[in-house]
Amino acid sequence: MDHALISLASIIVLGIGAQWLAWRLRLPSILLLLLAGFLAGPVAGFIEPDELLGDTLFPIVSISVGVILFEGGLTLRLSDIAGMRRVVFRLITVGALVTWVVVGLGAYIIAGLSGELSVLLGAIFIVTGPTVVIPLLKHVRPAEPAGSILKWEGILIDPVGATVAVLILEALLAGRLGNGALGPILAGMSKTLIVGVFFGLLGAGLLMQLFRRYWVPEELQNPFALMTIVGLFALSNELQAESGLLTTTVMGITLANQRQISTRHLSQFKEDVGVLLLSSLFIVLAARLELEQLSDIGGRALAFLALLIFVARPLTVLVSTLGSPLSWRERAFIAWIAPRGIVAVSVASLFALQLTRAEVPGAESLVPITFLMVVGTVVIYGLSAGRVARGLGLAQPQAHGILLVGAHAWARAIAQALVSAGREVRLVDTNWQNISAARMDGLEAVYASVLSDHALDEIDLARMGRLFALTSNDEVNSLAALRFEDYFGRSNVFQLPMHQDPSGRRQLNLAQHGRCLFQPGATFDTLERRFAAGAVIKKVRLTKEHDFQDFRKAYGESTLPLFVIDGNGEMKAFTTDQSLAPRAGQTVIALVDPIDPALPETARAQEARALTAPESAR
Q: Express each pLDDT in 475-503 by its tens digit.
A: 888 888 888 887 777 888 888 888 766 55
Domain that holds residue 617: 534-618
CA-to-CA separations, 43 to 4, 29, 207, 423, 591, in angstroms, rounded: 18, 20, 45, 48, 58
3-state helix, strand, coil in the chain (%, to 5): 65, 10, 30
Q: Do 226 and 346 fall within a single domain?
A: yes
Domain stop point among 491, 517, 543: 517
Question: In the chain, how many domains are there?
Answer: 3
Q: Do 463 and 587 fall within a single domain?
A: no
What residue type is assigned to position 373 of the chain?
M
CA-to-CA separations, 582 to 400, 544, 607, in angstroms, rounded: 20, 11, 17
| pLDDT band, very low/low/confident/very high, at 102 (cuts 50, 70, 90) | very high
Q: What is the CATH number of the domain that holds 245?
A: 1.20.1530.20
**Average confidence (pLDDT) over 548-560:** 79
Q: Do 110 and 128 fall within a single domain?
A: yes
Q: Do 497 and 363 fall within a single domain?
A: no
**Average confidence (pLDDT) over 557-586:** 81
Q: Do 213 and 292 fall within a single domain?
A: yes
| Domain-located, residue 22 | no
Q: Do 184 and 232 fall within a single domain?
A: yes
| Domain-located, residue 527 | no
The per-residue pLDDT for range 423-474, each reduced to its tens digit, is 888 888 888 888 888 898 888 888 888 877 666 767 767 678 888 888 888 8
| Domain-located, residue 523 | no
- Rounded Cα–Cα distance for residues 13 and 55 (Å): 23
Q: Do 295 and 429 fall within a single domain?
A: no
| Domain-located, residue 230 | yes
Strand partners, 571: 565
Asked whether residue 396 carries a pLDDT value surpassing 80, the answer given is no
- Rounded Cα–Cα distance for residues 28 and 51 (Å): 30
The backbone region for 95, taken as left when phi is positive above 0, alpha when psi lies in -120 to 50, beta otherwise, is alpha
Domain stop point among 517, 543, 573: 517
pLDDT of residue 285: 75
Percent of the chain with pLDDT over 70: 85
**Residue 590, SS3?**
strand
Q: What is the CATH number of the domain that holds 447?
A: 3.40.50.720
Q: Do 369 and 421 fall within a single domain?
A: no
**Average confidence (pLDDT) over 275-298:** 73
- Return the higher-pLDDT residue of 95 and 272: 95
pLDDT of residue 180: 60
- Rounded Cα–Cα distance for residues 546 and 607 (Å): 9
The per-residue pLDDT for range 207-224, each reduced to its tens digit, is 999 988 889 887 788 888
pLDDT of residue 98: 92
Q: Do 316 and 431 fall within a single domain?
A: no
Q: Do 376 and 409 fall within a single domain?
A: no
| Domain-located, residue 327 | yes
Q: Do 224 and 249 fall within a single domain?
A: yes
Domain stop point among 490, 517, 544: 517
| Domain-located, residue 43 | no
The per-residue pLDDT for range 320-369, each reduced to its tens digit, is 999 888 889 999 999 998 888 777 777 777 777 777 777 778 777 787 78
| Domain-located, residue 419 | yes
Q: Do 131 and 267 fall within a single domain?
A: yes
φ/ψ (deg, to 5) at 254: -65, -45
| Domain-located, residue 524 | no
Contact 403, 411 (CB under 8 A): no
**Average confidence (pLDDT) over 181-202:** 81
- Rounded Cα–Cα distance for residues 572 and 575 (Å): 9
